Amino acid sequence: MTQQKPVRIVDVARAAGVSVATVSRTLSNPQVVNEATRQTVFEAIRSTGYRVNRAARNLRMQRAGAVLVMVPDLGNPFFSQVLAGISAGFAESDHAVLIADTAGQDAGAIVDHYFRDGRIDGLICLDAGIRAEDLARLAAQGIGDRIVFACEWIEGTGFASVRCDNEGGARLAMEYLHGLGHRAIAHLTGPAGNVLTHVRRAAMQAERRRLDLPARPEWIIRGDFSLASGEAAARQILAMDHRPTAVFCASDMGAFGLIAGLIEGGLRVPQDISVIGFDDIELAGHFLPSLTTIRQDRRRIGETAAELLRARLDRADSRPLPENRLRRIGVELMLRGSTGPAPRSIS
Amino acid sequence: MTQQKPVRIVDVARAAGVSVATVSRTLSNPQVVNEATRQTVFEAIRSTGYRVNRAARNLRMQRAGAVLVMVPDLGNPFFSQVLAGISAGFAESDHAVLIADTAGQDAGAIVDHYFRDGRIDGLICLDAGIRAEDLARLAAQGIGDRIVFACEWIEGTGFASVRCDNEGGARLAMEYLHGLGHRAIAHLTGPAGNVLTHVRRAAMQAERRRLDLPARPEWIIRGDFSLASGEAAARQILAMDHRPTAVFCASDMGAFGLIAGLIEGGLRVPQDISVIGFDDIELAGHFLPSLTTIRQDRRRIGETAAELLRARLDRADSRPLPENRLRRIGVELMLRGSTGPAPRSIS
DNA sequence: ATGATGCATGTAATCGTTTACAAAGCGACT
DNA sequence: AGTCGCTTTGTAAACGATTACATGCATCAT
């Protein structure tokens, strides 16, 4: 019941009959110590139950032993999968994983503080909402290559980044709808200013041009990845003179809201209108109707980001290897129940 | 572009023309230093851009400056909300928030290592799957009161705990269904061995007895909080000779799967059978039909857990205040579309 | 015998703080 | 004047590891 005092390295040294230096070396650089001594030391470590004090090691080695994951909204289930991947990717490493929610706070300042406090060695950023000047400051401090963006990224900067193949996803969706006979295809976008919004919409439009499909301004419907924005979009569509026969949504959540709204408005999905999402969140397969969508492996994005950052942290300061800046994780079309052949034209 | 070396406390001392002790005191104990000196020091801190090195401070103060959140499955959106609350609760503190996914690993060992490595000062545990002997070891090390369980807990131990009012939730659900005329009420449970499974089922059964409702063994359907288990439960119900007219599910995910399965099997929800969930996850209001459920404020559970742990960390070692061990967060019945009056009896 | 070489280990400085203790300055009181 | 008390500040010893450097000892060529 009483607080037992922790074992220090000198206790191990005493138990093994060697100096602290030898114990330390046995732990960090085993091959330089004599086989017999090594065994003695390991035995002493085992019998004393020694564990190295991280604060001391970190202070001496001038490192933090931790990385930070900045999440725009921890409550959003989308990110939890990425987080799980990151956590798994660092499980074997001796870096701890810190999290911070940027919600409503100045992301740049937070990151700057964590770094300058010596609390973190690196950063995985799921939030591209950092101001350019903050980034410049970070890069100027020479820590630019210990930052990895995941899912989102910032155009025109040299930071490492892991993302899914957004363009490929949009292409898959459009080709598939086209193959089903759809010509009038609308797009429900993400929030304004978001890089994913931009890229997915641009790819969708490029593909529409390539397939020589008709375009109407009102068929690009502004959303924000949320359920509510999908429901709002449904109302807009219901009110249109020229309704699309299919909608490609930039997110599953938006697609869910859209479907709910359309059905409430009296349309049948997919008989009257097809809907396709993006993400493939867990519920997509169980929604009614189940959702055809572009699957991005969020867990793998997280794992890959962890891998990338670890590689950058491990090489300490040996200059080379600024390659491998961008990793694209493949996407997959998940065929389900929310899409079907285009209805016969009413015109 | 060049790595600029960090400002140390001696740099500030030099800039202010005082000793390092004075600078340190100004930061940690301002009222003991003279007003004028204090101003000078603050100015020096500002002009040098000094930030205290956490590793050094932690080493000297024998603390870690961090807490750990153990999550059974980071990928599960249920926990991400709790995590968001915890993160918010520690935003103002100077404790960093570490996360670890216990998936497939020995939770007890992980916790023990984090503590003994001096990496954490406290723990919030969302996973009650720790072995009793590990807990005993932790308690023996005198850190028992720096552990807070959230959502789940372990019966018969003295650890602090934050949870929703599970019994009240079950009661609300049963009373409501009873009021709608339902008599044959089934229950879809959580996974075996889980404390939430046990408590919710026990409360449901107690309420059923109190309301003098009929009981049948097959109306207690084993689930595991997952979509798939809900779908399996639907198949069981469809095959029953005496079908219940309502099902109280221990989780929303289970309820979603159940509804999907029932509808697929030709039943109408809620006309033929009512379904009520537990949790109120975001999608509950947007599912088709929308899900009547017991809302538990997961974010607030997280915030409260953070609050409790902070209080325990702050009081350092002053013995008192082992009170306030248990906090129950209230639940709320969310009336939606998956429940309706009991169908007229067929018998 | 002597010096060079190499391996294994020990000694002690160092990382950047906090804080116990000592000391200095200044009134006030006897 | 001497003593005491109080406030404010400085000096230096921790905290617990890592590692540059020194040392000791064996081996081997000259």
| pLDDT tens-digit series, residues A129-141 | 888 888 888 888 8
Chain B within 8 Å of A76 (Cβ-Cβ)? yes
pLDDT at residue A343 above 80? yes
User: Which phi and psi (to 5°) does residue B100 adopt?
Assistant: -145, 140
Q: What is the pLDDT of residue B347?
A: 43
B89–A contact, CB cutoff 8 A: no
pLDDT in tens, B239-277: 999 999 999 999 999 999 999 999 999 999 999 999 999
Residues 6+ apart with CB under 8 A from A311: A321, A324
| Span CA (B4) to C1' (C22), Å | 37
Interface mutation vs chain B, best among A78, A83, A137, A259, most B CBs within 10 Å: A83
For residue B160, what are the β-bridge partners?
B148
pLDDT of residue B138: 84
Count of alpha carbons within 13 angstroms of residue A178, beta-carbon side: 15
CB A207 within 8 A of CB A171: yes
Is the confidence at residue B101, as pLDDT, over 60?
yes
Q: Tell me which of A248-252, B97-101, B321-325 is least confident.
A: B321-325
Q: Is A136 on the interface with B (CB under 8 A)?
A: no
Cα separation, A110 vs B332, in Å, equals: 36
Distance, angstroms, CA A151 to C1' C24? 62
Residue B125's φ and ψ, nearest 5 degrees, are -115, 120
User: Can you tell me whether residue A182 is helix, strand or coil?
Assistant: coil
Mean pLDDT to the nearest integer, A65-86: 92
More confident residue, A334 or B227: A334
In this prediction, residue B316 carries a pLDDT of 57
Radius of gyration of chain B (CA): 26
Gap between the Cα atoms of A88 and B215, Å rounded:
45
**pLDDT at residue B137 in the model:** 86
Pairing mode of beta strands A185-188, B96-101: unpaired
What b/e sequence results for B18-35 when a residue is b if at least 16 CB atoms lie within 10 Å of its CB, and e otherwise? beeebbbbbbeeeeebee
Q: Are strands A274-279 and B147-150 parallel, antiparallel or unpaired?
A: unpaired
Kindly report the bases of strand C lying within 7 A of a protein C-beta atom: 7-12, 14-20
Confidence of residue B322 (pLDDT cuts 50, 70, 90): low
- A210 to chain B, minimum CA–CA distance in Å? 36
User: Which alpha helices (H) appear in B165-319, and where do they start and end?
Assistant: 166-179, 195-210, 227-238, 252-264, 298-314
- The pLDDT, as a whole number, for residue A327 is 95
How many whole angstroms from its chain centre is CA A174? 24
Mean of the per-residue pLDDT values for chain A? 93
Touching check for B202 and chain A: CB below 8 Å?
A: no
Contact call for A64 and B55, based on CB within 8 A? yes
By the CB < 8 Å criterion, does A112 face chain B? no
pLDDT at B103 over 90: no
Residue A90 has pLDDT above 90, yes or no: yes
Least confident of A12-21, A62-71, A292-301, B123-132: B123-132
Residues B199, B168 contacting (CB under 8 angstroms): no
Which residue in A299, A301, A293 sits closest to A276, CA to CA? A293
User: Sorting pLDDT into bands at 50, 70 and 90, what band is A1?
Assistant: very low
Is B4 a residue whose pLDDT tops 80? no
Residue A3 has pLDDT above 90, yes or no: no
Alpha-carbon span B200 to B149, nearest angstrom: 18
Average confidence (pLDDT) over A146-151: 96
What pLDDT, on a 0 to 100 scale, did the predictor assign at position B73? Answer: 87
> Rounded to whole angstroms, how far apart are CA atoms A149 and B215?
55
- From residue A257, give the alpha-carbon distance in Å to each of A1, A185, A228, A289, A307: 55, 18, 6, 12, 35
Within a 10 A sphere around the Cβ of A191, how many other Cβ atoms? 15
- The residue written with tokens 């159940």 in the block is B258
Nearest to B99 among A97, A139, A283 (CB): A97
Q: What per-residue confidence (pLDDT) applies to B321?
A: 55
Would you tell me how many other CB atoms lie within 10 Å of the CB of residue A5? 7
B29 CA to C21 C1', in Å?
18
- Cα A128 from Cα A150, distance rounded (Å): 9
Average pLDDT rounded to a whole number, residues A172-184: 98
For D20, nearest residue by CA–C1' is A21
Residues from chain A contacting residue B142 (CB–CB below 8 Å)? 1-4
Query: Which one is predicted more confidently, B345 or B56?
Result: B56
Two structure tokens written together for A262: 């359309």
State the nucleotide closest to A8 in CA–C1' terms. Answer: D16
Pairing of strands A274-279, A292-296: parallel
Residues pairing with A264 in the sheet? none
B261 touches chain A (CB under 8 A): no
Whether A3 and B76 lie within 8 Å, measured CB to CB: no
Q: How many CB pairs under 8 A join A and B?
A: 162
d(CA A274, CA A178): 11
- On the question of pLDDT at B80 being above 70, the answer is yes
pLDDT at B319 over 60: no
Q: Do the beta carbons of residue B125 and residue B110 sit within 8 Å? A: no
Tokens of B267: 């039943």
Residues near A189 by beta carbon (within 8 Å), at least 6 away in sequence: A197, A200, A201, A220, A221, A222, A223, A250
Which pLDDT belongs to residue B170? 98
pLDDT grade, residue A322 (50/70/90)? Answer: low
- What's the whole-number mean pLDDT along residues A15-31? 96
Strand segments (E) across A167-313:
185-188, 220-221, 246-249, 274-279, 292-296
| The token pair that represents B168 in the structure block | 């009240």
Inter-residue contact A196 to A152 (CB < 8 Å): yes
Average pLDDT (A247-265) is: 95
Q: Is the pLDDT of residue B181 over 90?
A: yes
- Residue A87 with chain B: CB contacts under 8 Å: 74, 99-101
Lowest mean pLDDT among A21-25, A284-288, B118-122, B125-129: A284-288
Contacts of B14 (CB under 8 A, 6+ apart): none
Share of chain B above pLDDT 90, in %: 79
CA of B62 to C1' of C16 (A): 14
pLDDT band at B338 (very low <50, low <70, confident <90, very high): very high
Using a 7 A cutoff on CB, list residues near strand C: A 17-22, 25, 32-34, 36-37, 56, 59-60, 62; B 6-10, 20-21, 24-25, 27-29, 50, 52-53, 56-57, 59-61
Judge: B51–A2 Cβ closer than 8 Å, yes or no: no
pLDDT (0 to 100) of residue B320: 53
Single out the residue of A205, A201, A202, A264 nearest to residue A232, CA to CA: A264
Residues B199 and B166: beta-carbon distance below 8 Å: yes
Give the distance, in angstroms, between residue B161 CA and nucleotide C17 C1'.
Answer: 35
Between residues A15 and B6, the one the model is more confident about: A15
Q: Give CA A23 to chain center in angstroms.
A: 40
